[in-house]
Structure 1
């Protein structure tokens, strides 16, 4: 077992890439202030293991971190062949689910849900 790995990229703005992580109490304190949060909202298979963010927990993380903007990542890519026909919801929906949860739990955070391969420009 290894601890989750996330990191902050510092430049003219601070961007937090959460990696594969779960929600933890000291998240805001350990990460510090950020302008953008890239938050995982899904996984590669039909279920998430313990210690991972789903759309609701990622929205809670956005509320804790308080970035100006958040982008859901880590969903709809690595998926077992044929599972999109069996469980399309888990493959396609986590980004929009995150946006819905974030509107409720972190309304001050601007959420951008890009299509696969789409670039996101943040103000």
Structure 2
């Protein structure tokens, strides 16, 4: 969670915040977060993990997940399914010509890292407006 500004540098004004939503499935929405030691204990067992794999600027610090760190999160959380989020939607004007891979590639990179790190997790790479009904039942 951040204060709504879109600045490439500066102090973080609030801690990362994620949510666990319980219903037919137990779903973890990680928000803007990085890896943390107590991730599995604090989040608990989940059916679905919605993990951010990108950002809006050219640099993601340790307090954000990138595709590789999001795949590491899968090994800690052990969800049945995962969906990469927070990429490919907002990009500063002009950077697409300079660094297009950082805008377009994080979803595919996450799929590749997840297949190596957590092959037992079903990863759903969705396009804008697409949806999936992951398997539930912990």
TM range (shorter): over 0.9
What's the offset of the Cα at 1:46? 1.3
How many residue pairs match? The answer is: 123
Larger radius of gyration: 2
Distance 1:8 1:90, change over 3 A: same
Match of 1:44 in 2: 56
RMSD: 1.0
> What is the Cα deviation at residue 49 of structure 1?
2.7
- Which structure 1 residue ranges, 4+ long, deviate > 3 Å from structure 2? none
Q: Hey, what does 2:78 align to over in structure 1?
A: 66
**Structure 1 counterpart SS, 2:84:** strand
Partner of 1:37: helix, strand, or coil?
Answer: strand
Secondary structure of the corresponding residue to residue 59 of structure 1: helix
SS at match of 1:46: coil
Unaligned 5+ residue runs, structure 2?
1-12
Tell me which residue corresponds to 1:53. Answer: 65
Deviation at 1:36, TM superposition (A): 0.1
Which residue of the partner structure matches residue 130 of structure 2?
Answer: 118
Partner of 1:35: 47
After TM superposition, the score normalised by the length of structure 2 is: 0.86
SS at the partner of 2:49? strand
TM norm structure 1 = 0.96
Gaps of 5+ in 1: none
In the TM superposition, residue 31 of structure 1 has moved relative to its aligned partner by 0.1
How far 1:50 sits from its partner (Å)? 3.0
Give the SS at the match of 1:43: coil
Looking at structure 2, the residues matched to 118 and 10 of structure 1 have their Cα atoms a distance apart, in angstroms, of 22
Q: Which residue, 8, 18, 26 being the options, matches 2:30?
A: 18
- Farther off after superposition, 110-119 or 19-28: 110-119
